[in-house]
Amino acid sequence: MKLQLENTPVAEEQQPILPKEKFYVCDITDKNQLSRIIQDNQINIIIHLAAVLETETTEKINHINCYGTDILFDIAIKQEHVEMIIYGSSLMTVFGYLENEPYSSLAKNIQPKQLLKKITINDPPIPSHVNPSSEAYIKSKIYGEGLARQYSSTDGINVKFICARLGGINTTDDITSDLYDWSYRATWCSHCDLCQFIDRVLENQLILKQFQIYFVCSNNDFCWVDMDNGREDLNFVPQDGAKWN
């Protein structure tokens, strides 16, 4: 994708500074084109956010989210210049916990009567069973995490894999709408906090482990996932947050 100015007369000293970034439109399942882009630009850090959501069919979710991730990871580990992949996983990998108390109260907007034991990265991922597409989406993210773990533990592969279990991110960057119940609000992630997390990963790249999972949310009331390792490893301290009152 090439950026061009409209044909409008502008004084030389007023010419805008064009961004140096290059933009490409590419299908993540197009192995040849994806490989050329990574190789030609000597890309060393990949932030993998390509995915279709649970609104798509199970077949499309598996094709893009699983097969596409397979292709990207396979290309990346064969390039000597690739140092790290930040994989956009999802906090939905543990949404199965919301189906039982005390977490299920949040979905009914009922304030929990007891402290919520926080789910950690060491607790097993549990998909929810809302519908087949939602379950397929969650399983595709669990699959991506498993693939990252497998590659990171393979001899001769030096690429670091950081799996970011992203909380709820919306286009409006607003959590006040009545459309959102507290199962969502408690794990909301603002745009600012998402950018801060990415910055912290990049700043700490050299000291990070070969494989790590982080929950990425804002500082929300009744947040039920544990983000302590993000604070300890990255100094990631969310600045925004949804408040009960």
Going 115 to 240 to 92 to 194, the CA torsion angle's sign is: negative
Instruction: Give the per-residue pLDDT at 2.
Output: 35
Residue 6's pLDDT is 39
Question: How confident is the prediction along the chain (245 residues), in pLDDT tens digits per residue?
Answer: 333 333 444 455 555 565 677 889 999 999 999 999 999 999 999 999 999 999 999 999 999 999 999 999 999 999 999 999 999 999 999 999 999 989 999 989 999 887 889 999 999 999 998 889 999 999 999 999 999 999 999 999 999 999 999 999 999 999 988 889 999 999 999 999 999 999 999 999 999 999 999 999 999 999 999 999 999 999 999 999 999 87
Q: Hey, which bits of 72-116 come out as E strands?
A: 84-90
Question: What residue segments make up the domains of the chain, in order of their start?
Answer: 44-234
Residue with the two structure tokens 């490989």: 35
| Residue in 128, 153, 160 with CA at minimum distance from that of residue 141 | 128
pLDDT of residue 176: 87
Gap between the Cα atoms of 200 and 82, Å rounded: 19
The pLDDT assigned to 21 comes to 79
Q: What pLDDT is attached to residue 20?
A: 73
pTM of the model: 0.90
Phi and psi at 208, nearest 5°, equal -75, 155
- Is residue 204 within 8 A of residue 234, CB to CB? The reply is yes
CATH architecture of 44-234: 3-Layer(aba) Sandwich (3.40)
The pair phi, psi for residue 149, each rounded to 5°, is -65, -40
Query: Can you tell me whether residue 24 is helix, strand or coil?
Result: coil
| Residue with token string 């929810």 | 128
Strands 160-166 and 211-216, how do they pair?
parallel
**Residues 138/128, Cβ–Cβ less than 8 Å:** yes
For Cα atoms 203, 208, 211, give the angle at the middle one, nearest 5 degrees: 130
Q: How many residues in the chain?
A: 245
Q: Tell me how far apart the alpha carbons of residues 121 and 32 are, in angstroms, rounded to a whole number.
A: 35
